[in-house]
Chain A
Amino acid sequence: MIWVDTVVQGILLGGLYALFAAGLSLVFGIMRVVNLAHGDLIVMAAYLILVLVTALNLSPLIALLLAAPLMFAVGWLLQQLVLNRTVGEDVLPPLLVTFGLSVVIQNALLEGFNADSRRIGAGSLEIASFSVGPITIGVMPALTFATAILVTLALQLIFYRTALGRAFRATSDDPDTASLMGIRPGNIFAVATGLGMVVATIAALYLGMRANFDPTIGPARLIYAFEAVIIGGMGSLWGTLIGGIVIGVAQTVGAAIDPEWQILSGHLAFLVILLVRPRGLFPAGGR
């Protein structure tokens, strides 16, 4: 039974990784650009929520509702003012620029908040749990997982059922031909990055409520997110959720064997899938 419990906890942990990855997957799916500052932007959003919670004495959920549009604006402006200048045939400029952005964000957060680790208080929710048969499930991990499913479902609906989603797909397929249809690719990319930042803010809420964070943990979150996207198949939203779950389960199973293996097991699972299915489990194109 302990293994069933381990796998269940891994699946729930995978929800957090899927949330880290969903914004990255969305942006990659539309622009074919990997944002190396994604993890740092999640951490930045966590600090924003923390500031709103402490300075205005808001509940984390209300703080999220305020932080999400602010982060949308951050993403939109970032894309319009900086990243749109780098998008093109050459994949190197966006990588270099977002790498630089990652360094800038980390240092700005260090300057503004120092290196102490912080946490967003969630009150009794932090330790609340319920039982399903012999398995005890934490309310926070269950909420995280449910949110990951809802976020994936919402993104999927936007992508395949709305006018914006059709514009996303057209621009993603061929920005030049999309321009001939009256679409401004730069605007579509900016909306996509803004939406990615809204998802990153949701991920930041759970990151901050579940564990301590400090200005330097962004790159590790990026690696988990990146692995989830690659395992799922670049650009596939449901695949990204599965990718997060694979990493989560691999980590909890690894930790059950030996606690020192937790992080390594996730990376090993990523490498194995990369070797067996280099394009991931559900490459983009399938719904």
Chain B
Amino acid sequence: MADAGTLLSLEGVTKRFGSLVVADAVTLDLPRGQALGIIGPNGAGKSTLLNLIAGNLMPDQGLIRLNGRDITGTSLTQRCRMGMGRAFQIPQTFSRLTVFETLLVAASQGRGISESEAAGDCVSILERTGLLDRANQVSGSLNLLQRKRLELARALATGPDLLLLDEIAGGLTEAECASLVGTIRSLHAGGTTIVWIEHVLHALNSVVERLIVLDFGRVIQDGAPDAVMASREVQEIYLGIEA
């Protein structure tokens, strides 16, 4: 059982697709305020693990707790209202909502407050994510970086205790990536707990203080990023380097 400082805990979470085990008895505790990176080769089960945490998938076995509460069987909507926000690799923007409207819906529905109560926070999130000058633009007309920022802003607007980032740096130029990472770093510095799966390792390692490596659905390394990246097992399995 996790201690009181643990925000998210997974106990023996297992998921199979037929005979393929995509999450193999994953157990981990995530302290409040920590930024955790998850890496692994393609097909290692990173997205599956995030889907299990977010509620897009239900585990075959195991328990998932948020703030000490068992959320294993709860829906996406319930997890959002319990304090989980998620941003996707491919931005899920709304073609008929402006940027500000998107945040208003996320903030009011996600936190169960009125839009007028939520409006101030939404403006603040727009500032923090660099979207204030796009507030009245229809979401579908944004460029890729702006849409990724909106993904982040939408997730933040729900007032999450835990922010799940799903390869959010993918597809960006170096400059765009640096800009987005700066935003994420400042969010983390503000106390937001983050679980981030990412292929862009330098972006990930510049933010997270803990890294786990998945391979065939199993956690094969868990520790500080430098130590994890230097481990022989990771170099062999993940990077394909013969040590």
Contact = CB atoms under 8 A, between A and B. Distances in A.
B101 A166 contact: yes
Interface in B104-118: 104-106, 108-112, 114-115
A166 B80 contact: no
B75 A179 contact: yes
A126 interface: no
A85 to B, nearest CB: 16
Nearest to A185: B77
Interface in A143-201: 163, 166-167, 169-170, 172-174, 176-184
Interface in B90-149: 92, 94-97, 101-102, 104-106, 108-112, 114-115
Nearest to B111: A182
Contacts of B154: 180-181
A170 to B, nearest CB: 5
B115 A163 contact: yes
Contacts, number: 69
Contact of A179 (B76, B102, B111, B155): B76
A285 interface: yes
Interface residues of B, number: 30
Nearest to A169: B96
- Judged by DSSP, the binding face of A is helix
A167 B96 CA distance: 11
A181 B96 contact: no
A105 B111 CA distance: 40
Contacts of A166: 97, 101, 104-105, 115
B158 interface: yes
B97 A169 contact: yes
Nearest to A29: B96
B81 interface: yes
B86 interface: yes
B8 to A, nearest CB: 17
B80 A170 contact: no
A80 B81 CA distance: 21
B89 to A, nearest CB: 13
Contact of A174 (B81, B92, B158): B92
Contacts of A167: 105, 109
B160 to A, nearest CB: 10
A183 B155 CA distance: 13
A230 B76 CA distance: 34
B86 A180 contact: yes
Nearest to A188: B109
B158 A181 contact: yes
A166 B139 CA distance: 13
Contact of B80 (A173, A174, A179): A179
Nearest to B118: A163
Contacts of A170: 94, 97, 102, 105
Nearest to A181: B106
Given A170-B94, A183-B105, 6 more contacts: A163-B108, A169-B96, A176-B76, A181-B80, A182-B112, A285-B96
